[in-house]
Structure 1
Amino acid sequence: MILKTALRAVAVAAAVLLPFAPSTGSAQEWRGWNIHAADYPNGRGLDRFGELVGQRTNNRIRMRTYHSAQLGQQDEAIQQMRLGSIDFANFNLSPFNNLAPSTNVVTLPFLFRDVAHSHAAIDGVAGQEIARDLEAIGIIALSWFDAGARSIYTTRPVRTPADLRGMKIRVQTSDLWIDLMRALGANPTPLPFGEVFTSLQSGVIDGAENNWPSYESTRHFEVARFYSTTEHSNVPEVLAVSRQRWQRLNEAERNILRDAAREAATLQRQLWAEREVQSRQRVVAAGATVIEITDRSPWSALMAPVYEKYTGSNPRLSNMVRQIRELR
């Protein structure tokens, strides 16, 4: 009787622990989130990631990406990943500003000199710090996608910060982005990305800010025809998996995911560079007006309070800013 009771207790314990053990022998179905369309550089990068993982695990891990925000908007998807109901995704880092402190650094305006500078930072010390903060909230960073330089587009011309005064500009859900727009004299209006077109069309907002491919692919140029090349931000994006899924993998599987993610990022960056050129050509051909901002010093000069608020009292973040600026 005692032996039966002991065996039953062992069986119950094994059943409880089983879901958390590496499952190298059985197939796993993973759900992935992407806000963009499947043919966007990010979508193609995510699909390549899934293909490589499937090939290299003999389909023990099968990944399906749900493109075009089918599983919810970005803030919702982040929460789902933290809970484990979304397994992998490509996120912009700005919505993490209130959750992972180091993401504020790479969101700071006018920090990066160019795309190559951004890549060097995120592939190095900045990426390491951000990955540590993301893991603490349940998200494992595997590689970094490009998201291009973000500029302001509006329903009327903007050539100087003074032209933005009083304009309602859509921003992502982030205190830093709100403060950035306030420093420029605009009225920041946090909205889900999917609501920007109708909000521009109806006059709820006067403009937004994003990169060339997003401006073109969403057809925002139809309702906000002036694109001012402020290039105020170059926030990288992350290809990540849920920590809950990650903890169930063995080391060989983790290495497969890391390698596949890096290869997917290489592809995405190449496709992104090509798409930026195409997108600019398309919106210009469609009648959008590009206002070239050649001197950004009047814009960057307004950012001192933003830097002070988000890094001034934090030695770790101040050191990140210094290291990024010193990169050559």
Structure 2
Amino acid sequence: MMRTHHILAGTAVALCLAAPAVNADTWRYAFEEALEEVQGKYAQKFKEEIEANSDHEVQLFPFGTLGESADTMEQAQAGILQFVDQSPGFTGALIPEAQVFFVPYLLPQDQETLFEFFRNSVAINEMFPELYAEQGLELLTMFPEGEVCMTTQEPVRSPEDLNEVKFRVMTNPLLVESYEAFGAVPTPLPWGEVYGALQTGIIQGQENPGFFLESTKMYEVTDVITCIGHNNFTTAVMANKDFYDGLQEADQLLIQDATAAAFEYILEYQQGLQEESLDKIREAKPEMEINILSEEERQPFMETATQVEEAFIGMAGESGQEILDQLKQDLEDARQATSG
């Protein structure tokens, strides 16, 4: 009898140990950049955390492996992908309120204040999740990727210098409005077409964070980089909502913990990244002109912000106004928290 008890106990322990493997799943995660760019670095950390703390596997799909941004969003909404990282720049048609991140000069340039804002923003952590849920998406986090700079063929010192310049923008109505206010001719294009369009002269400019200008070699097909301090590229990590809601609580907590760990990792990773990337561009192309505009030179660009804000409210309505008001309060709270 004693021997039978030991056998049964041993079998129960073996079954308990084997149980996680039986429930192990493979989760698919697509993002808009290459594996060694910021979104890819975040995704790798997220994968590492999930796989270190569970028997689940996370498969990563960098940009281009599953199509353009519109394709991966459709796949995430359909449940083909469990996770997707996509900028609000590409979700503006789905979630008009998310375009608020393209109001120029809304986000601070100071990195400490910026990070404080993204950590604690009520708009990001409490208001946006409801809007994403309406589209079948669980918003896990948003994070900044770096200051956006323009690349053009000619120097840009004022909005007049962008007159009649065909400037590529993401397929985002408010970004179109912003570059019209800057004086350019905004031209929405999927990312996969940008290098060739610059090479052939279909467009003469585009904007992206410094690391992306360096890694995608935008400096090969443009001659001038201009940083006017107007924005910091923001991205959002989402899960398919049906998938997420159907998980056991332990797996939801696993995802939340992995999200938090990857968020802190990616903020640390970005320290000094902009300057390092611009230095690499100078090294690769010494004749590249890189201009950081002074406060005085930025003023005419800054004066367009009110016009773009009004356009945003027109697109996003009352909920957009609520989001904008809360974001401004969150930003003020972040400034006060970091000013001491």
Q: Report the TM-score when normalising by structure 1.
A: 0.87
Q: Contact 2:159/2:182 (CA < 8 Å) preserved in 1? A: yes
Structure 2 distance, partners of 1:79, 1:68, is 15
* Offset of residue 122 of structure 1: 2.9
Match of 1:117 in 2: 113
> Matched residue pairs, number?
304
* Offset of residue 87 of structure 1: 1.2
1:99-248 equivalences in 2 (<5 Å)? 99-114=94-109, 115-123=111-119, 124-128=121-125, 129-248=127-246
Does 1:96 find its partner at 2:91? yes
Q: Contact 1:151/1:210 (CA < 8 Å) preserved in 2? A: yes
Match of 1:32 in 2: 29
Structure 1 distance, partners of 2:112, 2:67, is 32
**Percent identity of paired positions between Structure 1 and Structure 2:** 25
- SS of equivalent to 1:146: strand
* Offset of residue 100 of structure 1: 1.6
Match of 1:73 in 2: 68
- SS of equivalent to 1:198: helix
After the TM superposition, which segments of 4 or more aligned residues of structure 1 sit over 6 Å from their partners?
A: none
Q: Note the alpha carbon deviations across 1:91-145, whole angstroms, 9 max, x for none.
A: 2122122222331222211101223333333332121222221122112122233
Whichever residue aligns with residue 297 of structure 1, its letter is Q
Q: Contact 1:109/1:180 (CA < 8 Å) preserved in 2? A: yes
Match of 1:82 in 2: 77
- SS of equivalent to 2:303: helix
Q: Contact 1:213/1:276 (CA < 8 Å) preserved in 2? A: yes
1:305-320 equivalences in 2 (<5 Å)? 305-311=307-313, 314=318, 315-320=321-326
* Offset of residue 25 of structure 1: 4.4
- SS of equivalent to 2:229: strand
Change (3 A) 1:97 1:120: farther
In structure 1, stretches of 5+ residues that fail to align are 1-22
* Offset of residue 280 of structure 1: 0.8
- SS of equivalent to 1:246: helix
Q: Contact 1:35/1:67 (CA < 8 Å) preserved in 2? A: yes
Structure 1 distance, partners of 2:116, 2:134, is 24
Structure 2 distance, partners of 1:268, 1:215, is 18
Structure 1 distance, partners of 2:144, 2:65, is 22
Q: Note the alpha carbon deviations across 1:294-322, whole angstroms, 9 max, x for none.
A: 12221010222211121375241342243
Q: Note the alpha carbon deviations across 1:11-70, whole angstroms, 9 max, x for none.
A: xxxxxxxxxxxx99422111111222222232122112112112212x1x2111012331
Change (3 A) 1:107 1:117: farther
Q: Contact 1:37/1:43 (CA < 8 Å) preserved in 2? A: yes
Change (3 A) 1:278 1:233: same
Does 1:322 find its partner at 2:318? no
* Offset of residue 325 of structure 1: 4.4
- Structure 1 stretch displaced more, 123-132 or 160-169: 123-132
Structure 2 distance, partners of 1:122, 1:131, is 14
Quote the RMSD (CA, aligned, Å).
Answer: 1.8
- Structure 1 stretch displaced more, 309-318 or 194-203: 309-318
Q: Contact 2:209/2:233 (CA < 8 Å) preserved in 1? A: no
Change (3 A) 1:24 1:238: farther
Higher helix share: 2
Whichever residue aligns with residue 326 of structure 2, its letter is M
1:54 to 51, 54, 59: 51
- SS of equivalent to 1:281: helix
